[in-house]
């Protein structure tokens, strides 16, 4: 069974990034894949110092091993200053080729203002650099403060369908590229 | 007098990023500007959670105020996974338009492998997003492990001249754009 | 007097890109600068073959010389496939450092769909590469088919103010950087 | 049988871009795929005006149909001014989703100066925009004037191996993603 790991790049307690990540996760599970979400708010990670050893931070290895065992990834980030959050980039910096290469990755960004694809572009080039695959389907949620209803569902039907297509592409193509079922 | 603040995006103890930053700082001072370097290895900064308050982290305000009072900036980053380091991006995430806008910025990246401008491109678009200026001159030091001699000087004369042009452009154009002398 | 040259990257007969370029030009003139627009629909330019000589195409030299004598530039492009139009990139390819370096440049893009800054990012990095300056203010007009009224004016007041700020920054900062008045 | 179409973005008569494209094509054929190269020096294409009809230019349809029937693409471009050549971007502008979507694409760039990935990044984001796949493996040939021997072979063994990996990934993953053999 295809295993997808999701990572959210926000530390906000009531985070729209996580809400978007969870919506994607539900749809991915509905497609028959297993999903595990890594919550950077509960993982205790250090800043990356370019080295390999982080004594006192067992969550570094937990992050690395969980990602290593995945077939695919969902990376969701708030767009901060027109780029990926430092929090998420730092989590990626703590991993290396052996953890990230060949993963099939779907990207989501969440913005307070108008939709944009800067953070998505960033992540696409970063994940390429570590020899991961990034699916063509991607999601940027602009003006996220009005995107969700009180029930946590997306108010915009088109955006909701975009999540469907995103999840389908991620699962179907991870199966194809990884040879898993 | 033009005031330039330098920030290095590495936490490595023996950091080539800081060596490059210091070389640029010396040349900027030789042009008659004042320079203050912020060392992220000694500043105690939290991960940005998207909010404004970081109780227990007075260095957040020190970072913000030091940058706010600058006319220009030098941002130096190791290129991690083809992008700006999470450490530096997080420091930028902790600041806002009021601290970063209108600053005249010079960019430096340091790479273990072949030279590339991915991290510089990232930083250029990020600084644009906060309405800062970025000078056209930029420096990427590839294969940094063989860039410096035992005396800490650059071995490649052309690269050294590139630092001269970088510092000159930064100081001269900060004067022009900021109306300082 | 500061001289600004505008180039529009569309060949469409009824082009919104040119309408946007003309709006910017009017505001730039109102700031006391002179403006000359180069219309790629009337210039007869070849595809760039990487060489310097284009016999039979005197407009290549006209393009080069007009740009060379400018202090600043406005580049306006339709966003095609998430990037600058091939038409505009080709016109830039026909020029070199001697024509483009040091120009102070403002960027505008025009999109049929949702606003995005992909083409603007492209142009920012391209103009940096030829050592031009790019002002932080930039304009992306999304859903351009509903942006203009029958009188050719912008319907969105905020967008119109954005043009004001764009033109002011371009003229004021070209003066500062070029030492012209 | 997987069908790969290669397009070279140079009009130079003795073009290194085409030499690189041909090397890739040979390796792709050796992997059991069929290859057809489209030579923009012999195709007669107009500048894209944003419309669909190009009377007098039957090669537009030839370009579109050849690409449409491909499973995968190789796009090779000289890096002009830190970006994709206008010639190649214009050829892409002449096509649409129906021709380009879902193709599995490999990217090559050729530079006179130091290696860089700006043009590759451009193409990656452009091809994503038209919902194509881009393989993680990519090739930038820096200082191309000294890359090839008199026999047309690559002098750098490592670079030659990079072409092997590139071709293998393109063919193997096109098979996986397209379900062809």
Q: What is the DSSP letter of C150?
A: T
Cβ of C117 and A114 within 8 Å?
Answer: no
Q: Do B116 and D121 touch (CB under 8 A)?
A: no
Which structural domains are found in chain D, ordered by start?
3-178 (3.40.50.360)
Read off φ and ψ for residue A3, nearest 5 degrees: -115, 120
Taking CB atoms and an 8 Å cutoff, what residues of chain D touch C77?
none
Residues in a beta bridge with C46: none
Give the C:D interface size as CB pairs under 8 Å. 112
Q: Determine contact: C133 vs chain B, CB below 8 A.
A: yes
What are the pLDDT digits (tens) for A28-49?
A: 999 999 999 999 999 999 999 9
For the record, the structure tokens of D42 come out as 């012999």
* Max Cα-Cα span within chain B: 47
pLDDT at B180: 62
pLDDT digits (tens, 9 = 90+) for C61-113: 999 999 999 999 999 999 999 999 999 999 999 999 999 999 999 999 999 99
Please answer yes or no on whether C115 and A118 come within 8 Å at the CB atom. Answer: no
Tell me which chain B residues have a C-beta less than 8 angstroms from the C-beta of A118. 125, 129
**Candidate from A101, A125, A177 with C-beta closest to D121:** A125
Nearest CA in chain A to B112: A50
Per-residue model confidence as pLDDT tens digits over D29-83: 999 999 999 999 999 999 999 999 999 999 999 999 999 999 999 999 999 999 9
Complex confidence, ipTM: 0.96
Rounded Cα–Cα distance for residues A117 and C77 (Å): 18
CB contact under 8 A, A116 and C117: yes
For B113, which residue in chain D has the nearest alpha carbon?
D115
Q: Do A80 and B122 touch (CB under 8 A)?
A: no
**pTM of the predicted protein model:** 0.97
- Exposure string over D16-31, b if 16+ CB within 10 A, otherwise e: bbbbbbbbbbebbeeb
Q: Do C116 and A121 touch (CB under 8 A)?
A: no
What is the distance in angstroms between the Cα of A119 and the nearest Cα belonging to chain D? 12
| Residues in B touching A129 (Cβ below 8 Å) | 81-83, 118
- Give every residue of chain A whose pLDDT is below 70, as ranges: 180-181
Q: Give the list of residues 6+ apart from residue A20 with CB closer than 8 angstroms, or none.
A: A76, A108, A110, A139, A141, A144
Q: Does residue A6 sit in helix, strand or coil?
A: strand
Of B82, B115, B121, the CB nearest to D114: B115
Chain B residue with minimum CA distance to C173: B177
């Amino acid at each position: 069974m295809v295993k997808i790991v999701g990572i959210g790049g926000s530390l906000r307690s009531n985070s729209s990034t996580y809400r978007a990540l969870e919506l994607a996760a539900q749809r991915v599970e509905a497609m028959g894949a297993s999903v595990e979400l890594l919550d950077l708010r509960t993982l205790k990670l250090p800043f990356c110092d370019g080295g390999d050893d982080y004594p006192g931070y067992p969550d570094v290895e937990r992050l690395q091993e969980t990602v290593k065992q995945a077939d695919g990834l969902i990376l969701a980030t708030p767009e901060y200053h027109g780029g990926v959050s430092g929090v998420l980039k730092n989590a990626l910096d703590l991993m290396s080729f052996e953890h990230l290469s060949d993963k099939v990755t779907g990207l989501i960004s969440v913005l307070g203002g108008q939709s944009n694809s800067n953070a998505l572009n960033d992540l696409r080039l970063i994940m390429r650099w570590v020899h991961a695959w990034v699916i063509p389907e991607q999601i940027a949620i602009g003006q996220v403060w009005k995107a969700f209803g009180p029930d946590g569902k997306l108010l915009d039907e088109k955006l909701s369908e975009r999540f469907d297509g995103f999840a389908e592409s991620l699962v179907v193509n991870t199966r194809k590229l990884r040879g898993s079922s």
